[in-house]
A = this chain, B = another copy of it.
Amino acid sequence: MKQLRVGLIGYGFMGRTHSNAFRTVNNFFDVPFQPVLQTICARNGERARAFADQWGYASAETDWRKVVESPDIDLIDIASPNDTHAEIAIAAAKAGKMVMCEKPLGRNGAESEAIVDAVEKAGVANMVWYNYRRVPAVTLAKQLIDEGRLGRIFHYRAKFLQDWTISSDLPQGGEGLWRLDVKVAGSGVTGDLLAHCIDTAMWLNGGIDEVSAVTETFIKERKHTLTGEVTPVGIDDASLFLARFNNGSLATFEATRYARGHKALYTLEINGENASIMWDLHDLHRLQYFDHKDEGKLRGWKSIHITDREHPYMANWWVPGLQIGYEHTFIHQIADFLTAVGGGTSAAPTFREGLATDDVTDAVLQSAASRSWTKVKTR
């Protein structure tokens, strides 16, 4: 089997999920490449080496440019904070490497557009880690929609609820907290959580035409870890919007880190003329399905336990009844990527699809600022 040597930039939460996926994919999926954990790169050399030890990377590095330019690397995987995505991705594309990037692609559409231009000009394989498309239940939802089972779509609703930043004692920025620093993250929950909801929504239900949004920062000032000073918080703590899709369906979207009791409750529902679908991340191994064509007295919401061989990806795992978890979505995504690359095609979501999501988050933030309905940029 051909080896595909990976240079990973960033060792945080996502560095772990990606490493696990690269390291495990061949045990479960028959794909034409074997990822090799070649180099981990991060600013803190000591931690980079510890991470290399833990995961079996052949080397650790502190300068990402060296990794990008190394002849020992085939694929650059970007799992570092958002403000580094564009520069690294563009350099990697110019160096002719395949590039994978954590979401959101850029901090805004302009950054993402530059990234897309670079990879498309270079003609290198690329993918954004919108991993929730690869939850088997979500993939099954996509199949059902593509099979036309829902009929005309009337409604879409999605939310992503967390509660981890409610305390005013939490600082902004610093190790593990860059998501609260607007310069690094670009935005708050809009880019962090809504971006996931939007990516899935457009995959399932097509493009979004226009939005009306509101955002809020509940805790206005926080101490910044790096400076030690209490400064205004620049990110949005909550972001809600109404939307109209190109197919005429209406939607509500909401993300927040102030929904007490929810840790990562990403939920989606889609209502069609003939059938409806619900899913949530807290029970990711189930899909709720209602089919109006069922016999009248037996109509109801079906809780499909997504563990059968007939379900997407599940024939590669255990036996019916035994559920998989969160990290499997990354394994599925890299499996699809490797298969696509082996076949000379590219796997979704490409950077161009990542750009489309950023166009929507741009429209959301612009709508919230202008307090008016805002058209999503079309390209």
A residues with a Cβ closer than 8 A to B are 13, 16-17, 19-20, 23-24, 26-27, 54-55, 140, 143, 154-155, 157, 159, 161-164, 166, 212-214, 216, 218, 238, 240-242, 244, 248, 250, 252, 254, 256, 258-265, 271-276, 281-285, 287, 289-292, 294, 296-305, 307-308, 310-311, 317-328, 371-373
Residues from chain B with a CB closer than 8 A to the CB of A24 are 20, 24
Residues in chain B near residue A164, CB distance under 8 A: 320
Contacts of A271 in B (CB 8 A): 161, 163, 256, 258-262
CA–CA, A159 and B302, complex, Å: 21
A271 to B54 Cα, complex, angstroms: 39
Residues on B with beta carbons closer than 8 Å to the beta carbon of A294: 302
Task: Report if A264-B300 is in contact (Cβ < 8 Å); known contacts: A155-B238, A242-B214.
Answer: no
In Å, the complex CA distance between A307 and B298 comes to 11
A296 contact set on B, CB distance < 8 A: 308, 310
* Bound: A113/B173 CA distance, A: 52
B320 touches A264 (CB 8 A): yes
Give the residue among A214, A218, A297 with the most B Cβ atoms within 10 A.
Answer: A297
Q: Which residues of B contact A27 (CB under 8 A)?
A: 19-20, 23, 54-55
CA distance A293 to B151 in the complex (A): 23
Contact A154-B256, Cβ < 8 Å, known A24-B24, A263-B320 = yes
Report B-chain residues with C-beta under 8 Å of the C-beta of A303.
300-303
Chain A interface mostly: mixed
> What residues of chain B lie closer than 8 Å to A17, measured between beta carbons?
318
**A-B interface, 9 closest residue pairs, ranked by CB to CB distance from nearest:** A264-B321, A263-B321, A261-B290, A300-B304, A325-B325, A322-B326, A263-B320, A300-B302, A154-B258
Is the pair A299, B290 in contact by a Cβ cutoff of 8 Å?
A: no
The answer to whether A281 touches B321 (Cβ under 8 A) is yes
Q: Across the interface, which residues of B come within 8 angstroms of A273, CB to CB?
A: 166, 260
Extra pairs beyond A241-B242, A289-B298, A297-B304 (14, CB < 8 Å):
A27-B55, A154-B260, A164-B320, A214-B242, A240-B252, A252-B252, A259-B271, A259-B276, A260-B272, A260-B290, A261-B292, A301-B302, A302-B302, A325-B328
* CA distance in complex: A302, B287 (Å): 11
Query: How many Å lie between the Cα of A311 and that of B262 in the bound state?
Result: 16
Q: Are the C-beta atoms of A260 and B276 separated by less than 8 Å?
A: yes
Which B residues are CB-close (under 8 A) to A244? 214
CB neighbours (8 Å) of A20 from chain B are 24, 27
A254 cross-chain contacts in B, Cβ below 8 A? 155, 157, 252
Contact A323 B155 (CB under 8 A): no
**A5–chain B nearest beta-carbon distance, Å:** 17
Q: Which residues of B contact A304 (CB under 8 A)?
A: 297-300
The one of B212, B262, B265, B327 that contacts A242, using a Cβ cutoff of 8 Å: B212
Determine whether the beta carbon of A154 is less than 8 Å from that of B259.
yes
A218 touches B154 (CB 8 A): yes
A326 close to B320 (CB less than 8 A): no
Report B-chain residues with C-beta under 8 Å of the C-beta of A310: 296-297
CA gap between A324 and B20 in the complex, in Å: 14
The answer to whether B321 touches A323 (Cβ under 8 A) is no
Please give me the residue from chain B that is nearest to A322 by CB atom.
B326
CB pairs A–B below 8 angstroms (9 shown): A166-B273, A240-B242, A240-B252, A263-B307, A263-B320, A264-B320, A287-B300, A296-B308, A300-B302
| A311 cross-chain contacts in B, Cβ below 8 A | 297
A23 contacts across to B, CB distance below 8 A: 27
